[in-house]
Structure 1
Amino acid sequence: MRRKLIALLFLAALCARAGTPANRPNILLIISDDHAWTDYSFLGHPHIQTPNLDRLAREGVTFSRGYVPASLCCPSLASIITGRYPHQHQITSNDPPKPAALTPAEFYRSAAFTEGRAVMNRHLEALPTLPRVLRDAGYLSLQTGKWWQGHYRHGGFTHGMTQGGRHGDDGLDIGRKTMQPIFDFIATAQAQLKPFFIWYAPLMPHDPHTPPERLLRKYTARSPSLHVARYWAMVEWFDETVGELLRHLDQRDLAQDTLVLYLADNGWIQSPDNPRYAPKSKQSPYDGGLRTPIIMRWPGQVRPRQSRNLAMSIDLMPTLRAILALPPDPSLPGINLLDPKALKARKAIFGECFTHNAVDLFRPAANLRWRWMIAGDWKLIVPDPANEPRAAVELYHLGRDSHENFNLAPQQAARVARLRAQLNAWWDPAREPQTVKEQQAPLGEGRP
Structure 2
Amino acid sequence: MKLFFRCSGYLFSILCIFHFPELIQAESESSHPNIVIILSDDQAWNDYGFMGHDTIKTPALDKLASESAVFKRGYVPVSLCRPSLMTVITGLYPHQHKITGNDPPKGMNRQKLLKHVKQADCLPEMLGKIGYQSFQTGKWWEGNPSLAGFTSGMTHGDPSRGGRHGDRGLKIGREGMQPIYEFIDKCGQDPFFLWYAPFLPHTPHTPPQRLLEKYLSSDLPIELSYYYAMCEWFDETCGQLMNYLDEKGLSENTIVVYVTDNGWIQYVPETDQERQKMKRRFRYAPKSKRSPYDGGVRTPIMFRWPGKIKPAEYDTLVSSIDIAPTLLAAVGLKPTKEMQGIDLLEVMRQGGKTKRDALFGDIYEHDMVDIDDPASSLKYRWCVQGDWKAIFPGSRLKEEKVELYQITTDPFEQNNLVSKNPEKAKQLLKLTNRWWDADSR
Count of residue pairs brought into register by the alignment: 402
SS at match of 1:66: strand
Task: Determine the structure 1 residue equivalent to 2:101.
Answer: 93
Structure 2 gap ranges (5+): 1-6, 15-24, 158-162, 270-280
2:79–2:363 CA contact under 8 A, matched in 1: yes
Q: Distance in 2 between matches of 1:312 and 1:168?
A: 24
Task: Determine the structure 2 residue equivalent to 1:363.
Answer: 373
SS at match of 1:410: coil
Task: Determine the structure 1 residue equivalent to 2:160.
Answer: none
SS at match of 1:339: helix
Task: Determine the structure 2 residue equivalent to 1:103.
Answer: none
Task: Determine the structure 2 residue equivalent to 1:444.
Answer: none
Q: Distance in 2 between matches of 1:284 and 1:260?
A: 28
Q: Distance in 1 between matches of 2:246 and 2:73?
A: 29
Task: Determine the structure 1 residue equivalent to 2:59.
Answer: 51
SS at match of 2:190: coil
Q: Distance in 2 between matches of 1:57 and 1:158?
A: 30
SS at match of 2:72: strand
Q: Distance in 2 between matches of 1:311 and 1:96?
A: 30
Q: Distance in 2 between matches of 1:20 and 1:86?
A: 38
Q: Distance in 2 between matches of 1:223 and 1:186?
A: 43
Q: Distance in 1 between matches of 2:30 and 2:75?
A: 28
User: Are residue 195 (structure 1) and residue 191 (structure 2) matched?
Assistant: yes
Task: Determine the structure 1 residue equivalent to 2:113.
Answer: 120
For 1:175, give the aligned amino acid: G
SS at match of 2:55: coil
User: Once the two structures are superposed, what CA deviation does each residue of 1:160-217 show, in whole Å capped at 9, x if it has no partner?
Assistant: 0100111000000000002111000001101xx2100000000000000000001111
Structure 1 residues 128 and 222 mapped into 2: Cα distance closer, same or farther (>3 Å)? farther
Task: Determine the structure 2 residue equivalent to 1:404.
Answer: 413
| Aligned equivalent of 1:176, options 171, 174, 177 | 174
Q: Distance in 2 between matches of 1:223 and 1:137?
A: 54
User: Are residue 156 (structure 1) and residue 149 (structure 2) matched?
Assistant: yes
Q: Following TM superposition, by how much is the alpha carbon of 1:20 offset from its aligned partner in structure 2, in angstroms?
A: 7.1
Q: Following TM superposition, by how much is the alpha carbon of 1:410 offset from its aligned partner in structure 2, in angstroms?
A: 1.1
User: Are residue 269 (structure 1) and residue 278 (structure 2) matched?
Assistant: no
Please give the TM-score of this superposition, normalised by the length of structure 1: 0.87
2:325–2:334 CA contact under 8 A, matched in 1: no
* Structure with the greater alpha carbon radius of gyration: 2
Task: Determine the structure 2 residue equivalent to 1:380.
Answer: 390
For 1:323, give the aligned amino acid: A
User: Once the two structures are superposed, what CA deviation does each residue of 1:327-363 show, in whole Å capped at 9, x if it has no partner?
Assistant: 3433210000111359420110000000000011010
Structure 1 residues 374 and 214 mapped into 2: Cα distance closer, same or farther (>3 Å)? same
Q: Distance in 1 between matches of 2:130 and 2:219?
A: 48
Q: Distance in 1 between matches of 2:64 and 2:440?
A: 43
Task: Determine the structure 2 residue equivalent to 1:143.
Answer: 136
Q: Distance in 2 between matches of 1:368 and 1:146?
A: 24
1:310–1:343 CA contact under 8 A, matched in 2: no
Q: Following TM superposition, by how much is the alpha carbon of 1:21 offset from its aligned partner in structure 2, in angstroms?
A: 4.1
User: Once the two structures are superposed, what CA deviation does each residue of 1:267-302 show, in whole Å capped at 9, x if it has no partner?
Assistant: 000011241001100000000000000010111010
| Cα root mean square deviation, aligned | 1.8
Task: Determine the structure 2 residue equivalent to 1:293.
Answer: 300
Task: Determine the structure 1 residue equivalent to 2:431.
Answer: 422
User: Once the two structures are superposed, what CA deviation does each residue of 1:136-157 show, in whole Å capped at 9, x if it has no partner?
Assistant: 1110000000000111112210
User: Once the two structures are superposed, what CA deviation does each residue of 1:309-341 show, in whole Å capped at 9, x if it has no partner?
Assistant: 011111011101111111343321000011135
Structure 1 residues 27 and 222 mapped into 2: Cα distance closer, same or farther (>3 Å)? farther
SS at match of 1:183: helix
User: Once the two structures are superposed, what CA deviation does each residue of 1:82-141 show, in whole Å capped at 9, x if it has no partner?
Assistant: 00000000000000011xxxxxxxxxxxxx34x2x2222110110110101110111000
Structure 1 residues 20 and 407 mapped into 2: Cα distance closer, same or farther (>3 Å)? farther
Structure 1 gap ranges (5+): 12-16, 99-111, 433-448
Task: Determine the structure 2 residue equivalent to 1:236.
Answer: 232
For 1:118, give the aligned amino acid: Q
Structure 1 residues 20 and 72 mapped into 2: Cα distance closer, same or farther (>3 Å)? farther
For 1:35, give the aligned amino acid: Q
Q: Distance in 2 between matches of 1:23 and 1:431?
A: 47
For 2:407, give the aligned amino acid: L
Structure 1 residues 284 and 201 mapped into 2: Cα distance closer, same or farther (>3 Å)? same
Task: Determine the structure 2 residue equivalent to 1:167.
Answer: 165
For 1:367, give the aligned amino acid: S
Q: Following TM superposition, by how much is the alpha carbon of 1:426 offset from its aligned partner in structure 2, in angstroms?
A: 0.4
